[in-house]
Amino acid sequence: MSKIVAVHSYKGGTGKTIMSVNLAATFAKQGKKVALFDLDFRAPSLFAILRCEKIQVWLNDYLNNNCDIDKILIDLSSRISGKGKLYVGLANPSIDAMRDISTKDRRWEMRALGHLLSLKNKLFDEQKFDYIIFDTSPGLQYSSMNAIVTADFVVVTTTGDCSDVNGTKRMISEFYKMFEKKTGIVINKILDDVARSNNAEYAKKIKETYNVPLLGVVPCFCEILKAEGKYLFPQDKSDHPFTNLLYEMADKIEKSNIN
């Protein structure tokens, strides 16, 4: 079953990009055909993290109706061993492009939503992709709302900060619920001793706090920081505990029957 997964958060810096890239790599490592899109037009980062060079056509061009989706998909499958496929569609990081997107009005955003929705037909039905992953901007930016409306499943990343907890709770109860989106939460950058303490008790507390299924609890790992986003953990760090967590999260999303 094919799925669109939007990775979103209330606050910035909660790990959306790290999760998006590595979840996409995890599905690809499992043999799936995956397209990862950078919908964070406010601060594009996938082009740098994935070290893509000489890109001439961007996701911006697809949303501006200037080209077809095939023109912007970059094939990174050679970075993942096995039969899986990994493609990426990048947001244009030039200042002009960032400024251009920030001036778009609601009509443009509605048309952009139409283009995102049409990916279901173009990528799932025609090109047999299994997963589309959207890396988004934090908060309620228009592009993030479009990503969530288009998605089948929202992965919400949060940290333990109290400002993050309250905002995330409101976003889940008032925003995702409004669109009736299946949602799972990832608690990221947790201090090790918290993560290692009573897991069942902690999971219960998270469920009571957010009232959505818990996808995973990710400790603060120095290797993630040091990697500067440049490792595809399932490929480059297959024994790392983060990789194990990614496989668990991917399984829960795949089944979408997390409790």
Ligand X SMILES: Nc1ncnc2c1ncn2[C@@H]1O[C@H](COP(=O)(O)OP(=O)(O)OP(=O)(O)O)[C@@H](O)[C@H]1O
Place of tokens 């919400």: 156
Least distance (Å) between residue 202 CB and ligand X: 16
- Interaction pattern, residues 130-169, with ligand X; x per rule: CB under 6 A: --------x-------------------------------
Q: Which is nearer to Mg ion, 87 or 134 (CB)?
A: 134
Q: How far is the CB of 39 from ligand X (least distance, A)?
A: 10
- Closer residue to ligand X (CB): 105 or 228: 228
| Residue 145 and residue 31 in contact, taking contact as beta carbons nearer than 8 Å | no
By CB under 6 A, residue 220 contacts ligand X: yes
When asked if residue 17 is in the footprint of Mg ion (CB under 5 A), the reply is yes
Residue 188 interacts with ligand X (CB under 6 A): yes or no: yes
Based on the shown chain and the rule CB under 6 A, indicate whether residue 195 belongs to the binding site for ligand X. Answer: no
3-state SS, 118-173, equals HHHHHHHHHCCCCEEEEECCCCCCHHHHHHHHHCCEEEEEECCCHHHHHHHHHHHH
CB of 254 vs Mg ion, minimal distance in Å: 23
Q: Which of 3, 16, 32, 33 binds ligand X (CB under 6 A)?
A: 16
Q: By rule CB under 5 A, what count of residues binds Mg ion?
A: 2
Residue 225 contacts ligand X per CB under 6 A: yes
Q: Which one of the spans 6-14, 52-60, 79-87, 108-116 is the region binding ligand X (CB under 6 A)?
A: 6-14
Identify what 14 binds: ligand X, Mg ion, none; CB under 5 to 8 Å per kind: ligand X
Q: Strand, coil or helix: what is 205?
A: helix
Q: Is 91 in the site for ligand X (CB under 6 A)?
A: no
Asked if 12 is part of the footprint of ligand X (rule: CB under 6 A), the reply reads yes
Q: Using CB atoms within 10 Å of the CB of residue 208, give its burial: 0 to 12 exposed, 13 to 18 middle, 19+ buried.
A: exposed
**Contacts (Cβ under 8 Å, ≥6 apart) of 149:** 113, 179
The helix or strand, by DSSP H or E, that contains position 33, with its residue range, turns out to be strand 33-38
Alpha-helical regions (H) of the chain: 16-29, 46-49, 59-63, 69-72, 95-102, 106-119, 142-150, 162-170, 192-196, 199-210, 222-227, 233-236, 241-255
Burial 62-85 (b: 16+ CB within 10 A, else e): bbbeeeebeebbbebeeebeeebb
Stretch that binds ligand X, among 12-20, 86-94, 115-123, 200-208 (CB under 6 A): 12-20
Binding site for ligand X (CB under 6 A): 9, 12-18, 40, 43, 138, 188-189, 218, 220-221, 224-225, 229
Binding site for Mg ion (CB under 5 A): 16-17
